[in-house]
Amino acid sequence: MARTADRVRRLSAARRRILALALGAAMAWTGAMFARADSTDVASVRLDALSSRFLAGGVVLTLELSSPAPFTFFTLDAPRRLVIDYASSTGEGPDELPDLAPPLGEPRFGLFRPDRARVVVPLAQPMQVSRAAARAGAAGIEITLVPVPPDVFAARAGWPAGARWEDAASPRDPVLPGDARLVVAIDPGHGGIDPGAMSDGVMEKDVVLAFAQRLARHLEASGGVRAVLTRERDIFLPLGERVRIAQRAGAHVFISLHADIVIEGEAAGVSVYTLAPEASDAAAAELAERENRADVLAGAEAAGVEDDVARVLIELAQRGSMAEAERLAKATLAMLRSEVELLRSRPHRRADFRVLKAPGIPSILIELGFLTSPVDRARIVTPGWQEMAAGGVARGVLDWAGETAPAWRAPRTAQRP
């Protein structure tokens, strides 16, 4: 026994590291199997608290849950982050999460799929999970992370089976209309694990969902429109899936709703964006870059890249819809101008938004205002203001539909992308 202990103590640092990594891999596999085995018993598990503490050579991350839940974990590279999934049918948790011990970054959490909540923690340096277990004597999860070399982190990072959003069963296709009504897809931006912009307790994902519901009611009140919401509750949707929902519904129009923040300077008022390969200005380019990274920050970037032939065909199909989107934007702004305050400097802007790339569907992105502006923030959360703005957008869509070519209003067959 003494000789065995001596041999263990004489293990090189490299061999000890390999042993720890192997143990971590085995734990990850066991956790994944545990989650799959219990996936049929999904409770409304709430995240009560998230905290961290230093440990010799590493850091311990603790998730306090309202009740025990199966969980999985993995790391992703570029950017480096730790992803923790636990079985839950709700994304409820604290309004604000505390700062975590370095090198852990600002966390985000929320409902990732109907049966899974997700916590994503940025890593300022390469770290590996050395231990993960349910909290002793309490509901929750404890994960210990230790530093590793960059090449070791990169080799271990990656998607386990079933962890991507698209690995889940596709949402139910919207029921197609049996008449000639105009189909308008309304996309409340962000949701679930992706809160969007936040300021003074107001979250973008909540504001745009409330507005989308009002806009749908205004459109359907006309009698000639069927509104389809890409999401009807606080749940995450990848950018590509938002477009696919519109395609499956046979949508004639796609409207994405947002409420941004200003990084530098001040701005207030409603603005409308359309798709363009080159942004109309630096602020538009910066906004598009932030919105296009939503999937990555939520740990949900899509698998695979479309081939060159498909890309060319999509670009050809987009040309006509981009011109029609310009007319839709102008009609919407004309109706909004008499109802609400518009952005004073160029309320119609252009940028390369991924969510506006549905082939053959005129698409616009409406920024309801800026949460960093006290004036805008107060307006955006007011039901009366939302009613006026939603009415303006609805009249703009109807005005566009009355003036556009009949082909753009013709009933469409659902696309199966």
Residue 42 in contact with residue 168, Cβ under 8 Å? no
List b or e across 195-217, with b for residues whose CB sees 16 or more CB atoms inside 10 angstroms.
bbbebeeebbbbbbbbbbbbbbe
pLDDT at 6 over 80: no
In which band, very low, low, confident or very high, does the pLDDT at 162 lie, cut at 50, 70 and 90? confident
Above pLDDT 70, what percent of the chain? 79
Q: Is the CB of residue 195 less than 8 Å from the CB of residue 201?
A: no
Q: Ranked by mean pLDDT, which of 224-228, 299-303, 355-359 comes out on top?
A: 224-228
Q: Helix %, strand %, coil % for the chain, to 5?
A: 35, 25, 40
* 191 contacts 231 by C-beta, under 8 angstroms: yes
pLDDT over 90 (residue 157): yes
C-alpha to C-alpha distances, 185 to 29, 226, 251, nearest whole angstrom: 40, 9, 6
What does the alpha-carbon distance between residue 230 and residue 252 come to, in Å, rounded to a whole number? 14
Q: Which residue has the higher pLDDT, 93 or 213?
A: 213
CB 117 within 8 A of CB 88: yes
pLDDT at 130: 95
Q: What is the mean pLDDT of the chain?
A: 83
Q: Mind listing the pLDDT tens digit for each residue in 210-249?
A: 999 999 999 999 999 999 999 999 999 998 889 999 988 9
* The most confident of 284-288, 341-345, 355-359, by mean pLDDT: 341-345
The predicted structure's pLDDT at residue 292: 81
| DSSP 8-state class, residue 123 | B
Q: What is the pLDDT of residue 296?
A: 76
The Cα 11–Cα 387 span in angstroms is: 70
The pLDDT assigned to 178 comes to 60
Give me the pLDDT at residue 293, please: 80
Domains along the chain? 37-161 (2.60.40.3500), 182-408 (3.40.630.40)
Average pLDDT over residues 282-290: 85
State the CB neighbour count (10 A cutoff) for residue 167: 12
Cβ atoms within 10 Å of 63's Cβ, excluding its own: 24
More reliable by pLDDT, 308 or 145: 145
Cα(143)–Cα(81) distance, integer angstroms = 14
Q: What are the start-end ranges of the H helices in 10-161?
A: 13-37, 150-156
Measure Cα distances from 50 to 100, 108, 141, 153, 202 in Å. Answer: 8, 10, 10, 24, 20
**What local confidence, expressed as pLDDT, does residue 33 receive?**
32
Q: Tell me, what's the pLDDT at 38?
A: 41
Coil vs helix vs strand at 336: helix
The confidence band for 415, taking pLDDT boundaries of 50, 70 and 90, is low
- pLDDT for the residue 174: 53
Read off the pLDDT of each residue in 91-119 and give the average, rounded to a whole number: 90
Which token pair is 395? 């009249």
pLDDT-derived band at 401 (thresholds 50, 70, 90) equals: very high
Half-sphere exposure at residue 120, Cβ-oriented, CA atoms within 13 angstroms: 23
Q: CA nearest 196: which of 234, 164, 158?
A: 234
pLDDT at 17: 41
The model carries a pTM of: 0.80
For residue 28, the model assigns a pLDDT of: 37
Q: Which of 135-144, 304-313, 321-330, 399-408 is predicted least confidently?
A: 304-313
Of 84-88, 213-217, 284-288, 317-321, least confident by mean pLDDT is 317-321
Of 56-60, 163-167, 353-357, the range with the lowest mean pLDDT is: 163-167
In the chain, the amino acid numbered 346 is R
Q: How far is residue 114's CA from residue 417's CA, in Å, rounded to a whole number?
A: 22
Distance CA 81, CA 76 (A): 5
